[in-house]
Homo-oligomer: A and B are copies of this chain.
Amino acid sequence: MRDFDETNITEAVLEQFKNTPNPRLKTVISSLVRHLHDFARDVDLTFDEWNYAINFLTRTGQICSSARQEFILLSDVMGVSMLVDAINHRMPEGTTATTVLGPFYVENPPEFPLGFDISRGIKGERLFVEGTVTSASGERLGNAEIDVWQSDTDGYYDVQRSDLSEPTLRGRLHADSQGRFHFWSILPSPYSIPYDGPVGDLLKATARHPWRPAHLHFMISAPGHEKLVTHLFVRGDQYLDSDAVFGVKNSLIQDFTLQPAGVAPDGKKMSGPWRKLVYHFGLKPVAVAAAQAR
């Protein structure tokens, strides 16, 4: 194979991939080649633009660390993360809608007992969160595993702060035998996604803002059910209609109701006002997931 022009090179590349043993990989890589080549041809990509792209992707990879995942961020702002979410989650009635994972999840978070304050006392409006985890049918899922993570009042996750000595506003709880859970935290704030790297450059060059509406992240697992990855958003946030990563769904916007000083549901005496969030998560049984798989 020699002397390729801008038309016949695509078939030549597909030819070199023709012996891919895994049929699914062959399908995915062949489609990727076609779409990448179509893109380059459609815009008559210049050598300088290609060179910029190579440098952009390299910087995106090099800025990644245990505390930063810039490629997820790039996928998020390009709408690819939400698209993959939509493709894979055709959810039945009785289940909670899904949304993006985001770049701030940390594997193996610290475990906490029910009722723990995951804020560890940092500043912010106190927030009491309670609810249940059920199957789509309504059956309670006892001992369901609940990972939660969120930003602080200034809009930062713990992994973005160098002044914290332990995981904060992040942790793993288990529902009780009746699928019930509760914990303390603080009200999350809207925040700018990391803006000082390649993805920030992209947003600046395209006159896009980097803000996300305030939310709590949840990842919930129970035997026999698809893992649920979602957020709960704070109703009234100014960025609900222009989330930089396209993650908002109406059903995930919740009231974080303001409560007067007094006694909280777990008996804690509150000397000032506090917030309460109640949410009942519905998980999709794996049998349904398998039947819907295409």
Binding site for B on A (CB under 8 A): 1-6, 9-10, 12-13, 16-17, 19-22, 25-29, 31-33, 35-47, 49-50, 54, 57-62, 64, 69, 71-72, 75, 78-88, 202, 205-208, 240-244, 246, 248-251, 294
Contacts and interface: CB of A to CB of B under 8 A. Distances in A.
A129 B76 CA distance: 51
B78 A13 contact: yes
Contacts of A294: 44
Contacts of A86: 4-6, 9
B45 A87 contact: yes
A80 B57 CA distance: 15
Contact of A16 (B12, B17, B61, B208): B208
Nearest to A5: B86
Nearest to A56: B71
Nearest to A40: B83
Nearest 10 A/B pairs, CB to CB: A61-B61, A13-B79, A6-B86, A35-B39, A19-B207, A20-B206, A2-B248, A35-B35, A50-B84, A31-B43
Contact of A35 (B3, B28, B38, B57): B38
13 contacts: A4-B79, A5-B86, A12-B246, A16-B242, A21-B205, A28-B45, A35-B42, A37-B79, A44-B294, A46-B87, A50-B75, A50-B80, A57-B71
Given A44-B87, A47-B88, 11 more contacts: A1-B242, A2-B249, A5-B86, A19-B207, A27-B43, A28-B49, A32-B39, A32-B78, A35-B42, A45-B84, A45-B87
A229 to B, nearest CB: 8
A202 B75 CA distance: 21
Contact of A207 (B20, B50, B205, B248): B20
